[in-house]
Amino acid sequence: MLIATFLWSIAGVFTRHLEHAQSWEVTFWRSFFAAIFMLGVLLWTRRAQGIHGAWRAVRETGWAGILSGSMWATMFTCFMLALTRTTTANTLIVNSLAPLFAAALSWLVLKQPIARRTWLAIFIAIAGMAWMFQAGLAADEAALSGTLIAFGIPVASAINVVTLKRVRHDVDLVPAVLLGAIFSVAIALPSAIPLQASAHDVAILGFLGFYQLGLPCMLMVRASRHLAAPEIALLSLLEVIEGPLWSWLFAGEAVAVSTFTGGVVVLAALVLNEAAALRGCANPTLHPDGAMRPNQPPRAATND
């Protein structure tokens, strides 16, 4: 999971070194190469059945897999569009709100109660985001539009989680991610034409598709078998720290004071909420599937 968060965090610094590719084309190429990676993984893991086995795995996900893939596509697309319009820090701070969005949506749709600590975290995070908007983003229309686009990421993540819990359908994550990459390619291509990326740009975006999107998604699947949801959520927050750091060190992208202070407030709320939830996972039980689970019902704010 630590490797996955590191790979996710490199998107900003690599994107800042593109020569000609613009937002929609950046989204198209990254998703295109991610689809190739995920298809390769699917073919390899089902190599005994060949291409028919891979197609069967995709088909068996049913409508729930299509819905999950649509949410992955939304996250893939909104992330790159936001990253090319606003700073890495703004994008990742908004992205980190996914666990709180999932908690709120679970309360509305699944009628799952929200712990008082999570309500407090939600209100503190809202205050941090409000500070970011009023102090810095309002003066920069491009940054404002990028940050608003970034809100599509945690919203899509929350819808994905809650929908899958509601239908209680065990969807294989690999085909769902593949579908998401294909959908993202289809969404971005009309606006990406004419393609103007140089060979340098395509090489960077190919690297991102393989190693910043496809591979870390696979690593997260592996990690989720052994980590509780609060642990995954807490470790994922490292991306919010690492991403702006790489962009500052290797691309000269400074973090605005308003973004820094608002981001600290948001991260503090999330860390305190996740740390409190981890205490409920201190006495896990080994289930028949080999995964570690807490001895109590899962809390509402999860990102599994």
Does position 302 have pLDDT exceeding 80, yes or no? no
Average pLDDT over residues 28-38: 96
Q: 149-158, 182-191, 269-278: which has the minimum mean pLDDT?
A: 269-278
The whole-number pLDDT of residue 294 equals 42
Q: Are the beta carbons of 180 and 76 closer than 8 angstroms?
A: yes
The whole-number pLDDT of residue 143 equals 76
How many Cβ atoms are within 10 Å of 103's Cβ, its own excluded?
A: 27
- CA-to-CA distance for 189 and 195, rounded, in angstroms? 9
Average pLDDT over residues 86-115: 84
Ranges of beta strands (E only) in the chain are: 284-286, 292-294
Does position 231 have pLDDT exceeding 70, yes or no? yes
Q: Are the beta carbons of 290 and 237 closer than 8 angstroms?
A: no
- The percentage of residues in the chain with a pLDDT greater than 70, rounded to a whole number, is 85
- CA-to-CA distance for 240 and 91, rounded, in angstroms? 9
Say if pTM beats, i.e. exceeds, 0.85.
no
Average pLDDT over residues 193-212: 95
Q: How far is CA 141 from CA 145, 257, 300, in A?
A: 6, 17, 35
Average pLDDT over residues 114-140: 77
